[in-house]
C-alpha cells in the first residue's frame, strides 16, 4: 500500500492550500493510499543551525517536533507539500521544515545512502498565490525541486494556482478542486 504524507505549510487553517490539500488527500484515499497529514503551523520546528552532525550520521542533532518527521518522510512513498506563496517562495513554516531536510541531503550526497521503495518515491507541490505574474512560481519551483532531491524523491506533479487571495476563495474554482483531487488520485496510485 502506498504511504502518502500530506504536508500543510500554510499558517491558515481552512485556507486555500488547506482546502486543495484536503481534496488531494481525498483523491489519494480513493486510490487506496494510506494518507497522513502533517500541519506545520502546529509544530515547533527550529530552523537549521548548520551544526552539520548530519554530515557524519545522516541525522539532525536538533531534537524537536521535526525529529519524528524524519521517519515519516523516509517511510512515505509519496509526499505532497502545500504552501501559499509568501514573497515568491514557501512560507517560513515550510522553509524551516525543508531546511531541516538538509540531513537528507547529507545522507544522500555525503554518505551516499539512498532510500529503497517498492513504489518509487514521488513528490508533488501545491501552491497558491494572490497575484498573476508569469514568474510567480519560479522561486518555489526551484526550492521544491531541490527539497525533493534531498529527500530522495522525484518531483512528479505540481498544481499552481494564481489569483486567489481571501480565505476559502479557492472554493469558487471547482476546476482547481478537481485538479487537486486528480493529482492526489495519481499520487495515491502505485
Ligand atoms: C506574508 C505574506 C506574503 C505573501 N506574498 C505573496 C507573494 O509574494 N505573491 C503572491 O502572489 N501572493 C502573496 N501572498 C498572498 C497569499 O499567497 C494568498 O493570500 C494565498 O491565497 C494564501 O493561501 P492560504 O489561504 O492557503 O494561506 C502573501 C501573503 C502573505 C500573508
Delimit the domains of the chain by residue range. 3-187
Backbone φ, ψ for residue 11 (5° rounding): -75, -10
Strands ordered across the beta sheet of 154-161: 34-39, 3-8, 78-84, 122-128, 154-161
At 130 the three-state DSSP class reads coil
Nearest to 16 by CA among 181, 184, 167, 182: 167
> Which of 136, 118, 133, 141 minimizes the C-alpha distance to 190?
118
| Mutate-to-test residue for ligand 1 from 40, 41, 80, 85, highest number of ligand atoms within 8 A of CB | 85
73: cell is 518522510
Q: Distance from the CA of 88 to the center of ligand 1, in angstroms?
A: 9
CA distances from 112 to 30, 37, 107 (A): 36, 29, 6
d(CA 130, CA 188): 28
CATH class for the region spanning 3-187: alpha beta
Asked if residues 102 and 54 have their Cβ atoms less than 8 Å apart, the reply is yes
23-68 residue pLDDT tens: 999 999 999 999 999 999 999 999 999 999 999 999 999 999 999 9
Cell of 130: 494572490
For 117-123, what is the mean pLDDT? Answer: 97
pTM reported for the whole predicted model:
0.98
Q: pLDDT tens, 60-115?
A: 999 999 999 999 999 999 999 999 999 999 999 999 999 999 999 999 999 999 99
State the pLDDT at residue 81.
99
Cβ pair 94, 12 in contact under 8 A: no
Distance from chain centroid for Cα 75: 15
Q: What is the Cβ-side half-sphere exposure of residue 1, based on CA atoms within 13 angstroms? A: 11
Mutate to test the pocket of ligand 1, among 18, 19, 21, 130 (most ligand atoms within 8 A of CB): 130
Q: What share of the chain in percent tops pLDDT 70? A: 100
Tell me the Cα Rg of the chain: 16
**Residue 42 contacts residue 97 (beta carbons within 8 Å):** no
Binding site membership of 15 for ligand 1 (Cβ less than 6 Å): yes
- Grid coordinates representing 4 are 502518502
Amino acid at each position: 500500500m502506498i504511504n502518502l504524507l500530506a504536508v500543510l505549510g500554510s499558517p491558515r487553517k481552512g485556507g486555500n492550500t488547506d482546502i486543495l490539500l484536503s481534496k488531494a488527500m481525498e483523491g489519494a484515499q480513493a486510490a487506496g493510499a494510506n494518507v497522513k497529514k502533517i500541519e506545520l503551523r502546529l509544530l515547533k520546528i527550529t530552523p537549521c543551525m548548520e551544526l552539520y552532525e548530519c554530515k557524519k550520521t545522516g541525522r539532525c542533532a536538533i531534537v524537536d517536533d521535526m525529529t519524528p518527521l524524519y521517519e515519516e518522510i523516509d517511510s512515505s512513498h509519496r509526499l505532497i507539500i502545500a504552501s501559499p506563496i509568501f514573497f515568491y517562495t514557501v512560507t517560513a513554516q515550510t522553509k524551516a521544515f525543508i531546511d531541516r531536510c538538509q540531513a537528507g541531503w547529507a545522507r544522500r550526497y555525503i554518505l551516499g545512502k539512498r532510500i529503497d521503495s517498492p513504489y518509487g518515491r514521488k513528490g508533488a507541490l501545491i501552491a497558491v498565490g494572490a497575484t498573476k505574474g508569469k514568474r510567480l512560481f519560479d522561486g518555489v519551483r526551484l526550492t521544491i525541486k531541490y527539497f525533493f532531491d534531498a529527500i530522495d524523491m522525484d518531483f512528479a506533479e505540481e498544481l499552481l494556482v494564481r489569483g486567489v487571495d481571501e480565505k476559502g476563495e479557492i472554493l469558487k474554482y471547482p476546476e482547481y478542486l478537481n485538479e487537486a483531487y486528480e493529482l492526489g488520485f495519481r499520487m495515491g496510485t502505485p
